[in-house]
Amino acid sequence: MAGLNKVTVDDISVKGKKVLVRVDFNVPLKDGVITNDNRITAALPTIKKLVSDGGKVVLCSHLGKPKNGPEDKFSLAPAAARLAELLPETKVTFAKDDTVAGDNAKKAVADMNDGEIVVLENTRFRGAEETKNGEGFAKELAELVDGEVFVMDAFGSAHRAHASTAGVTKFVKETAVGYLMQKEINFLGNAVEDPVRPFVAILGGAKVADKLNVINNLIEKCDTLIIGGGMAYTFLKAQGREVGTSLVDDTKLDYCKEMIEKAAKAGKKLLLPVDTTVASAFPDPIDAEISVEVVEDIPADKMGLDIGTKTAEMYAEAVKSAKTVVWNGPMGVFENPVLAKGTIAVAKSLAETDATTIIGGGDSAAAVIQLGFADKMSHISTGGGASLEYLEGKVLPGIDVIADK
C-alpha cells in the first residue's frame, strides 16, 4: 500500500476536456447554513488546478443521509454557493436536478466554457448511488462528461464502492486522484507501510469492537501502541483489574488478552493507563465530582471517563522520542472540559514533537481542531471510516479503481 503510485491531477492534461470530480462536500448544515466549510476549502487546490488548466469541471458529492430521494435539507445548493464565494473569479453553476444527472445537469454542462464549474445535486438523491446495481447511475454520471476524465478527491468516501466513487470509473477514459487523496495516501499509507521509526500509534475512543482490526494491524507495524479512551477499560479488565462501572465490552476480553500477548511476543510496547479520572456517573452536569484514581483502586461504583495525570505524562513521554505518530480516538469524554485533560495532554505532546504526526480523522481530528492544535500536526485525515480502514491495511475501493502510473 505504501507510496501507492496512482495517476494524479499533475499527470493528466484536461484543457478543453470535461472532468467529473468526486469531492467531499458533506458539510455540517444548520437551518440551511454551513457551520464548517473545512471540507470545501480542502478540495480547493484540486479544483483550482483543473480550472486553471482549462478543464470543464463538474463536481459531485453526497451530503448527509437522505432516505427517500430528494430532500431540500440535504441539497448541495449551500455548498455550491460557498464554493462560488471562495472562487470569485470562476463561474460556478449549481445544477438543481432531482435525478442528479438529468436534464438540468445536462444543460448546465452543455453550456460550460473551459475553466468553469458545475456543481451537481447530492448524489444520494439517487438511491442507485449506494447500491450494487448503481451501474446505470454511474454511466449517466460518466456520460455528463462524455466519458472523458474522472478525478477522485473524496478520501472520506473512498472506503465505499458507490456509483460516484468507484462505479463511474468503468465508463471513463482517464482516471486520477486529486491533491487531497494524494496527501492521504502518502501520509496514511507510508505511516503504516514504511514509517520512519520509532513509530508510535495511539488509539482511543469508546469501543474495542470498532478498532479490532486496527489494533491487530498496528501491533504488527508499530514499535509502541498506546491505548486510551473507553476501550482501555476492556483491556484493564482483561488483565484482571477492577474497573468499576466503566464502559467494558465483555465479549472482547479474550481478544484483549490475545493482543497483550501478541505485543509481548513481538517485543512491542503496549501502554495502558496507570491511573484514570473517575466520576460516579456519565457527567451531566459538566461539574461532576471527579477524582483521579490508580487503576488498581477504581471504586466499584465509579466509572473511568478520562486517562489520569500520571498516564498522560507517561503517554507524552512515549511520544517524545517518536519519529512517526498516528493517533485515532480521544483519551476521554473530551467534549466535556472537565474530562478533556487527557486528550489535551496527548494533543500537546504531539504538537511539541518533531515527529511526523498523523491524526486519523473522526473524533481525534475534531479534538485537535477544537483544542487549537491543528496547525501543529503534519496531517489531519479528512476521513473517519476511511482512515480507520486504511490503518487496518484494507484496500479502499475508491483508491483501487484509479489508474496506476
Active site residue 147: no
Marked catalytic residue, from 6, 39, 56, 160: 39
Grid coordinates representing 33 are 447554513
Grid coordinates representing 181 are 487523496
Q: What is the chain's length?
A: 405
Please list the helix, strand and coil fractions of the chain in percent, rounded to the nearest 5, in that order. Answer: 40, 20, 40
Contact residues for 382 (Cβ-Cβ < 8 A; gap 6+): 24, 39, 42, 155, 156, 180, 184, 361, 365
Q: Name the residue with cell 454520471.
A: 141
**Residues in a beta bridge with 326:** 201, 358
Amino acid 228 reads G
Residue 299 to residue 313: CA distance in whole angstroms: 23
Grid coordinates representing 354 are 518533531
Active site residue 82: no
Marked catalytic residue, from 262, 385, 393, 394: 385
- 8 Å CB contact between 79 and 95: no
The stretches of 333-378 forming alpha helices (DSSP H) are: 341-352, 362-370
Q: Which of 3, 5, 4, 8 is nearest to 149 (CA)?
A: 8
Q: Which of 269, 268, 285, 334 is nearest to 307 (CA)?
A: 334
Marked catalytic residue, from 207, 257, 262, 269: 207
Amino acid 398 reads G
Residue 79 to residue 247: CA distance in whole angstroms: 39
- 8 Å CB contact between 154 and 183: no
Active site residue 39: yes
Amino acid 344 reads I
User: Beta strand 379-380 with 356-359: parallel, antiparallel or unpaired?
Assistant: parallel
- 8 Å CB contact between 314 and 274: yes
Q: Name the residue with cell 493482543.
A: 259
Active site residue 385: yes
Rg, the chain, Cα only: 23
Marked catalytic residue, from 156, 362, 383, 384: 362
The catalytic residues are 39, 207, 362, 385
